[in-house]
């Protein structure tokens, strides 16, 4: 099947994939500019080819990494000398652009209370893949917290694997006490996520900080946490608080500063 046609079908089903396109080729090469290949999250070639062999294998592995990171990249290959690590002996060179398709950013919400429910709804509306985690199974479900893509109840800390803790994962801790925060923060901070925010008062965060330091979490990691979470909107209702949190997440993701866009 054609790579573009299969990519369109996968996007309709909500399945991420990576499109690899030869954008430049010179000399003796197996394929030329415009050749395409579609790759899955696991690095499996689904359709098309850019020439086979070790070069294609390396591109497939790079495509899996691109989907994990959520950032496109340009790969260059010199098909000259395998003894020096080149993936071929054709004598030419190629550049392959690898583009992630359908790899939505993840909004990881720890806490399925009032704010968690509002944030799940808002995050889904904004295009995030929403994951809700809470140790209370009676709250962490489709009926009580509708709209999430995945629910982690019970010992959710043990369920936070590398597929969820990625460079495109934004974690919002909106739990009922700092005890839950301290339980999961070391794992989140070790993953070096682009955003970790914690709801609560400054006094509550101070208590959490003391326990994290006692557990050996570095001061640098602790300083990276957004606490209290969200932008200052004087928010009061769960929905308003969710807006302030998501606004901060979007600013972090897009490089915004949160300042008012006053007319010049």
Mean pLDDT of the chain: 89
* Cross-strand partners of 25: 94
Residue 88: per-residue pLDDT: 54
CA-nearest of 210, 195, 167, 169 to 252 is 195
Residue 173 pLDDT exceeds 50? yes
Q: What is the pLDDT of residues 189-207, one digit of tens each?
A: 999 999 999 999 999 999 9
Phi/psi of residue 223, nearest 5 degrees = -65, -20
Q: What is the pLDDT of residues 108-128, one digit of tens each?
A: 999 999 999 999 999 999 999
Residue 82: per-residue pLDDT: 56
Residue 239 pLDDT exceeds 50? yes
Mean pLDDT of 238-244: 97
Residue 83: per-residue pLDDT: 52
Q: How far is CA 148 from the centre of its chain?
A: 15
Residue 232: per-residue pLDDT: 93
Dmax (CA) of the chain: 66
Residue 90 pLDDT exceeds 70? no
pTM of the model: 0.76
Residue 257 pLDDT exceeds 90? no
Residue 221 pLDDT exceeds 70? yes
Beta strands 150-153 and 129-134, pairing class: parallel
Question: Which tokens in the block code for residue 140?
Answer: 């962490």
Residue 80: per-residue pLDDT: 62
CA-nearest of 219, 227, 263 to 245 is 227
Instruction: Please report which helix (H) or strand (E) contains residue 169, including its range.
Output: strand 169-173
Share of the chain above pLDDT 90, in %: 66
Residue 81: per-residue pLDDT: 57
CATH of domain 106-254: 3.40.50.720
List the chain domain ranges. Answer: 3-101, 106-254
Residue 174 pLDDT exceeds 70? yes
């Amino acid at each position: 099947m054609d790579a573009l046609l299969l990519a369109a079908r996968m996007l309709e089903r909500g399945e991420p994939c990576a499109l690899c396109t030869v954008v430049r080729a010179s000399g003796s090469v197996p394929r030329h500019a415009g050749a395409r290949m579609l790759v899955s999250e696991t690095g499996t070639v689904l359709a098309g080819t850019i020439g086979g062999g070790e070069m294609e294998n390396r591109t497939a592995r790079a495509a899996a990494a691109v989907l994990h990171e959520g950032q496109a990249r340009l790969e260059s290959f010199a098909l000259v000398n395998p003894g020096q690590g080149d993936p071929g002996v054709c004598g030419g060179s190629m550049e392959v652009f690898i583009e992630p398709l359908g790899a939505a950013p993840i909004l990881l919400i720890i806490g399925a209370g009032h704010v968690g429910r509002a944030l799940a709804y808002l995050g889904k509306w904004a295009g995030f893949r929403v994951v809700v985690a809470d140790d209370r199974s009676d709250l962490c479900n489709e009926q009580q917290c509708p709209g999430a893509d995945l629910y982690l109840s019970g010992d959710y800390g043990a369920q936070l694997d590398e597929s969820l803790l990625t460079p495109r994962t934004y974690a919002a801790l909106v739990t009922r006490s700092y005890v839950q925060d301290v339980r999961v923060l070391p794992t989140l901070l070790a993953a070096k996520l682009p955003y970790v925010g914690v709801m609560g008062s400054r006094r509550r965060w101070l208590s959490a900080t003391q326990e994290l330091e006692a557990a050996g979490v570095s001061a640098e990691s602790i300083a990276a946490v957004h606490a209290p979470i969200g932008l200052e909107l004087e928010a009061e209702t769960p929905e308003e608080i969710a807006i302030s949190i998501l606004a901060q997440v979007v600013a972090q993701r897009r490089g915004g500063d949160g300042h008012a866009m006053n007319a010049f």
